[in-house]
Structure 1
Amino acid sequence: MTEEASIFVGGGGEGHAEPQSLLLRYGNRHGLIAGATGTGKTVTLQVLAEGFSAAGVPVFMADVKGDLAGISAPGSVTHKLHEPFMARAKTIGLDLQYRAFPVTFWDMFGEQGHPVRATVAEMGPLLLSRLLELTEPQEGVLNVAFRLADEEALPLLDLKDLQALLVFIGENADTISTRYGLVATSSIGAIQRRLLVLENEGGAKLFGEPALDLADLMLVDAQGLGRVNILAADKLMQSPRLYATFLLWLLSELFEDLPEVGDPEKPKLVFFFDEAHLLFQDAPRALVSKVEQVARLIRSKGVGVYFITQNPADVPETILGQLGNRVQHALRAFTAKDQKDLKMAAETYRDNPAFKTDEAIRDVGTGEAVTSFLEAKGIPGIVQRTLIRPPSSQLGPVDPAYRAQLMVSSPVKGKYDAVVDRESAYEKLRARADGAAKAAAEAEAAKAAPQASPWERPAAEDDGLRNARRYDGGPREAAPKRSTAGRSDSIGTAMAKSFARQIGTKAGQAVVRGILGSLFKSR
């Protein structure tokens, strides 16, 4: 592709720069959309999503306010913003044509889109610990659980699988602690309580099968337009940690599964991470470090990541430095901290001698922004004041009936609707418990059965003994006593013994799961 292969973002007009565009070949160099509430971030996000889709690049984004679904419908002359949009288009020299873009709706709760799920094993212990807000000892117990699941061939697909495995570990804590270190029952109880809270928040619907196929996020329609995947997140945002963990998991799966492509002519997928501050809020340093590595390396797999947040300071500097394409809407400086953040934001741009960057960021109006896009050879462009172009699609939500109609014609219709509950850890552990209970019952029955008296031996057996004495002349051998040792063991003890034999003879099969790709493997 040539330099003309780009997304027109805005510009033009009195007091503003030449038209500003994002070059597609640098679309995987990541980006930032920042600004205070009500300054136009949503419109900028929609404009960029339209541009990528028109170029044949699939897009994934979360709709946290319920107003991004309009990208599936064309803009209208009856919309209240039609006249202002047309005036803006004339100012920046844009021939605005209304059009719709292909959309696939997703919803973790299955209400406003196709259900989206992951298995517990795919989520892995690190992200699950982050989701459950576990302490370090509790996270250690969770790691033991995942290790046992691997070695004992106990698939962890949904929450009941994990809950059943934790019960098993609690019943056999002594045996397991001998092999893996102390497993405190108090930590197991704490994890179970956190899982209960997650269930009450609706988080159980995230886990299960069929799990999301990443290929379904990377589709194009018959006209070659990239499909825009919109995750309904207005309800999901009631559990911010669940929202952030799910998006981070999705990003990690993309990193792990996609092949290296180097520097493509255009991205294979663009991922918009709205409310990005939730990803880093109270996150442990180790997790932030891994996110930094993923952000640095995933671009070589053709994925562009764009963070949307109110203040650039919400994003750690190590990650902020990797965001080459930036749209900065207004920041208000009402407090000393605000002024400091404003100054820091201005320092990250390449200066323009025509104005002071910090003053421009403070003074731009709604729908206007300070922009900087990568130029030839990936050099950051000089900061410019830019009027953001109006979107071609509808601004705002769509009618529920229209949404339902699009879901009926969706390319993934019916693929994720029905939950599949195949045999996994829960069923296998229950079968073990049932088997142990049956064995214990048989042992008790055998113990309680009356023993045969020597005087009640069958006649044939007595004849045999007499014949033996007749020919051997030796004394009669005592009959062996029937042993009942071990038959009165409890079910838990029987399971523990069985388990001890298994882990003593089996070589552990380590299953590497997708936790921020191979970066989370021990080195």
Structure 2
Amino acid sequence: MADDPAHEAGRILIGKSDVYQYLTLALGNRHGLVAGATGTGKTVTLQLLAEGFSRAGTAVFAADVKGDLSGIGMPGESKPHFVQRAKDIGITYAPDDFPVAFWDLFGELGHPVRARISDMGPLLLARLLELNDVQEGVLNIAFKLADEQGLLLIDLKDLQALLQHLGDSAAEVSKSYGNVAPATIGTIQRRLLVLENQGAAGFFGEPELDIDDFLRTASDGRGFVNILSAGKLMRSPRLYAIFLLWMLSELFEKLPEVGDLEKPKLVFFFDEAHLLFDNAPKNLLSAIEQVVRLIRSKAVGIYFVTQNPADVPETVLGQLGNRVQHALRAFTPRDQKAVKAAADTFRKNPSFDTVTAITGLGVGEALVSMLDAKGNPEIVAKSLIAPPMARVGPITDAERQQLMQKSGLLGKYDTPIDRQSAFEILRDKSQKEAGGGASGPAGGGLLGSLAGALGGLFGKPAGGGRQRMSAGEIALRSAVQSAARTAGTKIGQAILRGVLGGRSK
């Protein structure tokens, strides 16, 4: 309707002060920021924006930290305060719902999300594992070795097997790439074991996520709202941050250059944004800055959602054109400094003091500054934020299952695929070498019996069948080999040849 301020073509209604504030869809890829203290309405504003982009045919991705965003798939409820707020703004509250797809790295509250180790790459993995420079260097060597030898890295077991192979080849590899210490390899393997114990192993594997599934539109032309269940994921904040950065990198690499369109292809909401930047090394911050700066030409908008603008580095903050600032508290000198810093990011309004306004905002109110038609920030305005039209709050398990049935993705990601990759190739190579050396010291007698008994522990059944080892078993195998190598005795070498299929020196 042309005379309905809530449904103006090419714009999303954000709220109203003396006049209506809109986000121009053609400038939606210029990124944005939604900030404010806990309980001030950030999540409601996030949902309002997500609904607006979806209604316009733009796909949305958002992490759902508290479960509140899941309600976007169900019609809104005519709650008195929402109905009254709509009336105060001058619009009609009309319950609506939007197409949704639920995702979950753990596969519990949504379709599983998986990535291959090779797609993640050594830089992000090093950050995820909290490796130092030396350990990161060894991890880079491992990936280089995998490329040279055609070893496909899909899951954690592949990486564990590759690290074991690197340890076996350390003397030869060190001649070309520098020293590869067994202790460093052992440290990386232990970090991988911790990662597996935290439940992250399910994230690495196949079928990997198809980015196109994040860019879908429903039959009515509305963009799908992709909701990542992040409640459990937040217990591993580093995994959360690295996953989201990986996804941005995938979008950047796979989407074509299109410049500025009438509307973005995808809008990406990064909730709890400070987790991406906390203790991030300089090279990672540079990568984030580059992705944010360049991905807008792929028609992707990134919106950071956090408590304070100071959570975002200045190099990134300067690229966020569309801003909604909810209330901040100023109880301490540090808080007061943060409020002033937030106020300084806005184009000043001569009718009020921005610092005072930020601390005096009520729930549902915010300071709003969107980009104008020329791409310049508008003068900041104190606004009443429009209410979302879908349900605000969590849905039931039954409703979630119902919506997942309608997502069009059922069955595509549910069953993991375990094809031949580095683990199987290196295991088969080890077994072949062991078979060729059956007449060696471990071929019979006490050592041969010991090797046979331990071989079952490490995934080599007596019947010759194949059994996939866990990351823990691979780490244990590595520890046995390391101990025997250190001992340097003939007995230790014989045990290694019999148990691990190692080669005679």
Partner SS state of residue 310, structure 2:
helix
How far is 1:3 from its partner?
Answer: 8.5
The 8 Å contact of residues 325 and 372 in structure 1, kept in 2 or not, is answered as yes
Deviations 1:261-319 (Å, cap 9, x if unpaired)?
Answer: 01111001000000000000000011101101110000000000000000100000000
> What is the identity, as a one-letter code, of the residue corresponding to 2:14?
V
Q: Which among 74, 91, 94 is matched to residue 94 of structure 1?
A: 91
Instruction: Name the residue aligned to 1:387.
Output: 384
The 8 Å contact of residues 442 and 495 in structure 2, kept in 1 or not, is answered as no
> What is the identity, as a one-letter code, of the residue corresponding to 1:8?
L
* Bigger CA radius of gyration: 1
* TM alignment of 1:355-394, pairs within 5 A: 355-394=352-391
Instruction: Name the residue aligned to 2:253.
Output: 256
TM (normalized to structure 1)? 0.83
* TM alignment of 1:48-447, pairs within 5 A: 48-77=49-78, 82-441=79-438
Change (3 A) 1:497 1:316: farther
Distance in 2, matches of 1:90 and 1:109, equals 42
How far is 1:362 from its partner?
Answer: 1.1
Q: Any gaps of 5 or more consecutive residues in structure 2?
A: 1-6, 446-493
How far is 1:172 from its partner?
Answer: 2.0
TM (normalized to structure 2)? 0.86
Distance in 1, matches of 2:53 and 2:433, equals 58
Identity %: 61
Instruction: Name the residue aligned to 1:6.
Output: 11
How far is 1:161 from its partner?
Answer: 0.3
Moved more, 240-249 or 174-183: 174-183
Deviations 1:199-236 (Å, cap 9, x if unpaired)?
Answer: 11101011000000000000000000000000000001
Change (3 A) 1:337 1:169: same
Distance in 2, matches of 1:218 and 1:253, equals 13
The 8 Å contact of residues 436 and 491 in structure 1, kept in 2 or not, is answered as no
The 8 Å contact of residues 440 and 489 in structure 1, kept in 2 or not, is answered as no
Change (3 A) 1:185 1:92: same
Partner SS state of residue 261, structure 2:
coil
Distance in 1, matches of 2:315 and 2:430, equals 50
Change (3 A) 1:382 1:149: same
Partner SS state of residue 438, structure 2:
helix
How far is 1:144 from its partner?
Answer: 0.6
The 8 Å contact of residues 103 and 111 in structure 2, kept in 1 or not, is answered as yes
The 8 Å contact of residues 172 and 496 in structure 1, kept in 2 or not, is answered as no
Change (3 A) 1:420 1:360: same
Distance in 1, matches of 2:107 and 2:440, equals 49
Distance in 2, matches of 1:39 and 1:319, equals 24
> What is the identity, as a one-letter code, of the residue corresponding to 1:27?
G
Partner SS state of residue 68, structure 2:
coil
Change (3 A) 1:433 1:22: same
The 8 Å contact of residues 3 and 23 in structure 1, kept in 2 or not, is answered as no
How far is 1:490 from its partner?
Answer: 7.5
Change (3 A) 1:445 1:42: closer
Moved more, 437-446 or 422-431: 437-446
Distance in 2, matches of 1:107 and 1:490, equals 41
Partner SS state of residue 67, structure 2:
coil
Deviations 1:36-74 (Å, cap 9, x if unpaired)?
Answer: 000000000000000000000000000001111000000
Partner SS state of residue 426, structure 2:
helix
The 8 Å contact of residues 101 and 225 in structure 1, kept in 2 or not, is answered as yes
The 8 Å contact of residues 72 and 100 in structure 1, kept in 2 or not, is answered as yes
The 8 Å contact of residues 15 and 383 in structure 2, kept in 1 or not, is answered as yes
The 8 Å contact of residues 103 and 229 in structure 2, kept in 1 or not, is answered as yes
Partner SS state of residue 101, structure 2:
strand
How far is 1:177 from its partner?
Answer: 1.0
How far is 1:494 from its partner?
Answer: 9.1
Distance in 2, matches of 1:110 and 1:379, equals 42
Instruction: Name the residue aligned to 1:44.
Output: 45
Deviations 1:119-155 (Å, cap 9, x if unpaired)?
Answer: 0000000000000000110001100110111110110
The 8 Å contact of residues 217 and 224 in structure 2, kept in 1 or not, is answered as yes
How far is 1:409 from its partner?
Answer: 2.1
How far is 1:376 from its partner?
Answer: 1.3
Deviations 1:3-41 (Å, cap 9, x if unpaired)?
Answer: 941000111xxxx33111100000000000000000000
Q: Any gaps of 5 or more consecutive residues in structure 1?
A: 449-487, 499-523
Deviations 1:386-416 (Å, cap 9, x if unpaired)?
Answer: 1011110001000100101111222111000
Instruction: Name the residue aligned to 2:32.
Output: 31
Deviations 1:463-500 (Å, cap 9, x if unpaired)?
Answer: xxxxxxxxxxxxxxxxxxxxxxxxx99759997799xx
Change (3 A) 1:87 1:446: closer
Change (3 A) 1:71 1:195: same
Distance in 1, matches of 2:340 and 2:8, equals 32
> What is the identity, as a one-letter code, of the residue corresponding to 2:360?
D
The 8 Å contact of residues 430 and 501 in structure 2, kept in 1 or not, is answered as no
The 8 Å contact of residues 369 and 379 in structure 2, kept in 1 or not, is answered as yes
Partner SS state of residue 223, structure 2:
coil
The 8 Å contact of residues 47 and 390 in structure 1, kept in 2 or not, is answered as yes
The 8 Å contact of residues 93 and 389 in structure 2, kept in 1 or not, is answered as yes
The 8 Å contact of residues 440 and 490 in structure 1, kept in 2 or not, is answered as no
Partner SS state of residue 251, structure 1:
helix
Distance in 1, matches of 2:501 and 2:68, equals 58
Instruction: Name the residue aligned to 1:21.
Output: 22
